[in-house]
Structure 1
Amino acid sequence: MKNYSKLSLALFLSLTLVWACNNEKKLETPEGVEYVLIESKDGESLEEGGFAIFSLRLEDSKDSVLLNSEEVGELPIAVQDSVLSTRGPLFSILKTLKIGDSIKTKLTASEVFTQGFKQPVGPNIEKTDRLTVYAKAIQKFDTAGFMEWQKQMQQEAMKRMQKEAEKQKGIDDELIKDFLSENSIEAQKTESGLYYMVTKETSGEKAEAGDTVRVNYVGKLMDGTVFDTSYEDIARETGAYNEQREYAPLEFIVGKGRVIRGWDEGIMLLNEGSEATLYIPSGLGYGPRGSGAVIPPNSPLIFDVELVEVK
């Protein structure tokens, strides 16, 4: 009886596997691009002049995921054959799919990125590397429906950004408080999360929004790395020197978004001639994008500043 049960199970699994394999169809686009139709729900065809939304997943030869629309967002395309026909084999497949169709294909990195997305291949990928592409046609829209979908996506993205920013604000606050505690620094905190310590107080004119100010500064990461300064001697000492720039106080209109928010707020706390150290959470600095190669994403910053002049 046990042997019979095992035989029945094996037969069931083999039939299931055969059925699954038979469900996958090897197809070819009119341009000659081969792909496998993993699943078809016989949905609606895409319409010229409309819009379609696809999920997309890219894997390299080691099955490492290079792109996943579940993490970066779904792929919308305008269904215009004259445009899609110039975007290589990936889009020649996508434009033939019906809603609900899932496909798999093998394409080179150049075919996917350079031809398809009109962008360079990433630094760790060779143009000739073979990528496995999984795609599914999810929805289609007319122009009005697509605009509404875009609006919803923007609202959802904004909510995610706000949630992430609030979480990062808490992380930054702990980092700054720990730094201040470890270095026995007494700093004041503003409502926005900016910490500051006035190191030289004066009775000069206070900077207000709209004033033109001149500020000397030294900008550092939390580990003490100097990434920028208006002082040439400090730039040379710390390896931050750039012979293509002038070393002089930075002049700007304060309170108008010409500098990072932590500066706008911090400088307006000071009087002309005063000096301070600003401890700026990343949300008031360069945020999740960072700045170039010197300021990583989500980096709290430290600025020693001197308000040289209020014009």
Structure 2
Amino acid sequence: MNNYKSLAIALVSIIFLGACNSEKQEKTADGVEYVLIESDNGSSFEEGDFAIYSLKLIDSKDSVMLDSKDVGELPVQINDSILSTRGPLFSILKELKLGDSIKTKLTASQVLTEGFQQPVAQDKDGAERLTVYAKAIQKLDTAGFMEWQQQKRAEAMEKMQKDAEKQKGIDDEIIQGFLSENNIEAEKTESGLYYMVTEETSGEKPESGDTVRVNYVGKLLDGTVFDTSYEDVAKESDVYNPEREYGPIEIPIGKGRVIRGWDEGIMLLNEGSEATLYIPSGLGYGPRGSGAVIPPNSSLIFDVELVEVK
């Protein structure tokens, strides 16, 4: 009886170990090696099909560089003549079947430069080995892919709106805190713009489409000056550009040629007036920021003078 029991345990162990060790070393027709982690024996992708992949990139320090869960899935049209020029990653992807998931190690240059035709970041070494996980999750024809794109656009728009609404509340709290801390009394518009007129005049107000001339100083809430039309302020604040012509800038107002906070704020003023605008990020540069000077989701301060309405 004990012999039968031992045999049964051994068989179960063999089956269990076989199930856990189902990964297979594979090689593409181009000679690129990868590990097949899982396969559903799904259908192959044919020339012209649209394949949707999930993708995850992990660097040599085990930090996640990219994850489809955060940035969305990767759509690829199967076109051998094009994909064969995009390096080893796409050599693997084009040979996967629906439901296949794989793991491979490739250099940053192979993935980014060859695969996605993007430069390797300055803080990365092109020879750094990245661990790549990918899975073929959908197979679509042209009509199906167009529908997929529309759905993704709608989802992205909905997410942007939700994020913007959430950020609007955060910005308002930050600006209110700043005003309270500095004993500033400012008026608030329906959009969330705060403003304080510091020099009132009886000049005409600009209307949408008018050309105006404006002097300004742009600052972060911590007081850092990032741009100005005044040469002396630029020199004092270490943002002077000798190639720039200083003085009032001339812009059409109310036409989206400047940030929304300016379009709205300048039209609240009379010609000759001066004011300080406290602009939430949604009316400024939003989640992208602006270069290295204005971080993402930054509320901004602009001291402005409406010099002339043309």
- Normalising by structure 2, we get a TM-score of 0.95
User: Match of 2:16, as an amino acid?
Assistant: T
Q: CA deviation at 1:144?
A: 1.0
Are residues 24 and 308 of structure 1, via their aligned partners in 2, closer, same or farther at CA, if it must alter by over 3 Å? same
Corresponding position: 1:133 with 2:132: yes
Deviation of residue 240 (structure 1)?
Answer: 1.1
Structure 1 residue ranges (4+ consecutive) displaced by more than 2 angstroms after TM superposition: 8-19
Percent of paired sites with the same residue: 74
In structure 2, the partner of 1:3 is none
Q: Which digits, 9 at most, give the CA deviation of each residue in 1:242-281, with x for residues without a partner?
A: 1121101010000000000000000000000000000000
Return the alpha-carbon distance in structure 1 between the equivalents of residues 138 and 103 of structure 2.
18
1:197 Cα deviation from its structure 2 partner: 0.3
Q: Tell me the secondary structure at the aligned position of residue 254 of structure 2.
A: coil
Task: Provide the C-alpha distance between the structure 1 equivalents of 2:63 and 2:289, rounded to a whole number of angstroms.
Answer: 26
> Any gaps of 5 or more consecutive residues in structure 1?
1-7
CA distance in 2, matches of 1:13, 1:219: 70
Residue 239 (structure 1) aligns with: 238
Quick one: structure 1 residues 9 and 267, their matched pair in 2 at CA, closer, same or farther if it must change by over 3 Å?
Answer: farther
Distance 2:242 2:263 in 1: 27
1: distance between equivalents of 2:131 and 2:106? 7
Give the letter aligned to residue 16 of structure 1: F
Structure-1 separation of matches of 2:41 and 2:187: 64
Counterparts of 2:12 and 2:293 in 1: how far apart (Å)?
59
Relative to 1, partners in 2 of residues 1:16 and 1:236: Cα closer, same or farther, differing over 3 Å?
same
1:110-152: CA deviations, max 9, x gaps? 1000000000112222111111110000001111110110010
CA distance in 1, matches of 2:13, 2:232: 75
Alignment match, 1:224: 223
Change (3 A) 1:268 1:14: farther
Could you list the per-position Cα deviations for residues 150-192 of structure 1 after superposition, in whole angstroms to 9, with x for gaps in the alignment? Answer: 0100000011111111111001001100110011110000000
3-state SS of paired residue (2:278): strand
1:285: which partner in 2? 284
How many residues were matched structurally?
304
Residue in 2 that maps onto 1:297: 296
The residue that corresponds to 1:77 in the other structure is 76
Q: Which amino acid aligns with 1:124?
A: D
CA–CA distance in structure 2, aligned partners of residues 138 and 202 of structure 1: 64
C-alpha separation between the residues in 2 aligned to 1:16 and 1:251?
75
**Equivalences for 1:260-279 in 2 at 5 Å?**
260-279=259-278
Corresponding position of 2:159: 160
Q: Report the alpha carbon displacement of residue 62 of structure 1 after superposing the two structures with TM.
A: 2.4
Which residue of structure 1 lines up, in the alignment, with residue 258 of structure 2? 259
1:91 equivalent in structure 2: 90
Residues 163-174 of structure 1: matches in 2 within 5 Å?
A: 163-174=162-173
* Cα offset, 1:10, TM superposition: 10
- Corresponding position of 1:5: none
Shift of 1:16: 2.6
Kindly report the root-mean-square deviation, in angstroms, between the aligned alpha carbons of the 2 structures: 1.6
Q: 1:80 to 1:159 in 2, by over 3 A?
A: same
How has the CA–CA distance of structure 1 residues 9 and 153 changed in structure 2, closer, same or farther, with 3 Å as cutoff? farther
Unaligned runs of 5+ in 2: 1-7
Alignment CA distance shift 1:92-1:200 (3 Å): same
Q: In the alignment, which residue of structure 1 is the partner of 2:20?
A: 20
* TM score, norm. by length of structure 1: 0.95
CA distance in 1: counterparts of 2:273 and 2:24, whole angstroms: 74
Deviation at 1:234, TM superposition (A): 0.3
Residue 13 to residue 206, structure 1, CA distance change in 2 (3 Å): farther
Please name the residue that 2:185 is paired with: 186
Q: Distance in 2 between matches of 1:200 and 1:9?
A: 89
- Aligned to 2:162, what secondary structure does the other structure show? helix
Cα separation, partners in 2 of 1:9 and 1:162, compared to 1, 3 Å: farther
Number of the residue aligned with 2:51: 52
